[in-house]
Amino acid sequence: MMQLGRPMAQRRGACKQAPQQRTAVVRAAVASAPQQPATSTTYAPALQGPIIMNGQVLHSLTQERLDVVRSLEDGYLQTQVVPLLKPVDKCWQPADFLPPSEDADFLDKVHVLRERAKNLPDDYLVVFVGDMITEEALPTYMTMLNTLDGVRDETGASQTPWAKWTREWTAEENRHGDIMNKYMYLTGRVNMKSIEVTIQNLIGSGMDPKTENNPYLGFCYTSFQERATKISHGNTARHALEYGDDILAKICGSIASDEGRHEIAYQKIMDGLFERDVNGAMVAFGDMMRKQIVMPAHLMDDNVHEAKTGRNLFADFSSVAEKTGTYTAMDYANIVEYLVQRWKVADRTGLTGDAAAAQEYVIKLPNRIRKLAEKASARKAKAKVIHSPFSWVFNREVPLS
């Protein structure tokens, strides 16, 4: 995954220091949300307006925009979004791709699997494992959705459309890390203990997408992120086929297909927000693009990589993903351009000052990213190739650029 936003060392440092700092809470006025703050019980933290805690804006959604979000429950969510989930009996399950452990010839089938996986190169394994670790941190992503005001699951088993969507989306996503983990375990090609340490660290560290408990921002983030994961899994499927592992290709392709449905669902939520509050949706889109989309696994840590190499694990994983063409800066630019077109950004009229500025910014952004990516690529072409060991592949070295 491509590393964007603040330097990773700064993000990691902030994360480590936060528990020792005394929590600072400051009430703040947000320029893009001038309306009165919400007053419902589910929005209690923002009774006196948005707040800043340890440098982060929280609860920036206003009462008027909270009402807009809730208006989507009245038919829209049920007709436009929920149908993109599949009934459980129509979903693939991890067992569909794995040798049945109850079979008498189970070990023979595992041997065949291992023979297929022998041709997977280390750079492929690093990218696949990084994607797998990202999927395995699913508890963090469900938690993130449940921080969003107006849509969170208030009881853990709430029957509101928003809560049911979050739980059922999570249930579908849970299959991804499950099958990827089991398959890699059976291949014998990777260091499962190191991977498990990385997963535990990542879930424990969480993520910081800077969505401000605001569903406008949150669903911009998920609209982008689901498309990014679809692209990444689609490319790992293509590469697996090239290396002769057709079953792994089917696994990655099936995951990419799920991500494609989920991508459409979140983009449809934003469709509804653009229809009902074009200014608010446009400002949110611009805000998330200015902050830059931070990939959900940006806090991954295997306890050894940084000490051994002096570099950040996520940054090095991102470099391998870029080098192999699994997920690149150009993909990032293409996603922004796709969303600009999907939400008809250039055609929106009658926008307020902040929304008009956001419109202009996001329309120009894809080309700006492409130009920066081209310059970065030219620099890398002239630079010495750097190799890095990865504990996930038993400290074998993989080229980063």
Structure token pair of residue 235: 């490319």
DSSP assignment string, 20-53: GSPP-EEE---TT--SPBP-SGGGGGGTTS-EEE
Q: Tokens 């990419």 appear where? A: 256
What is the edge-to-edge ordering of all strands in the sheet holding 56-58?
25-27, 51-53, 56-58
135 is in an annotated binding site: yes
Please report which helix (H) or strand (E) contains residue 199, including its range.
Answer: helix 192-205
SS3 content of the chain, % helix, strand, coil (to 5): 65, 5, 30
128 — phi, psi (to 5°)? -60, -45
Q: Is 226 annotated as a binding residue?
A: yes
- Tokens 């081209």 -> residue: 374
State which H helix or E strand residue 58 sits in: strand 56-58
**Helical H runs in 42-160?**
63-71, 76, 106-117, 122-136, 138-145
- Count of C-beta atoms within a 10 Å radius of residue 394: 12
Q: Which two tokens stand for residue 17?
A: 């220091």
Catalytic residue numbers? 92, 135, 173, 176, 226, 229, 258-259, 262
- Annotated binding residue at 259? yes
- Amino acid (one-letter) located at 50: P
Query: What CA–CA distance (Å, rounded) separates 255 from 128?
Result: 12
The C-alpha atoms of residue 250 and residue 367 are separated, in whole angstroms, by 34
Q: 216, 208, 227, 214: which is closest to 337 by C-alpha?
A: 227
Q: Is 176 among the annotated ligand-binding positions?
A: yes
Bind-site residues: 135, 173, 176, 226, 259, 262
Bind-site residues for Fe cation: 135, 173, 176, 226, 259, 262
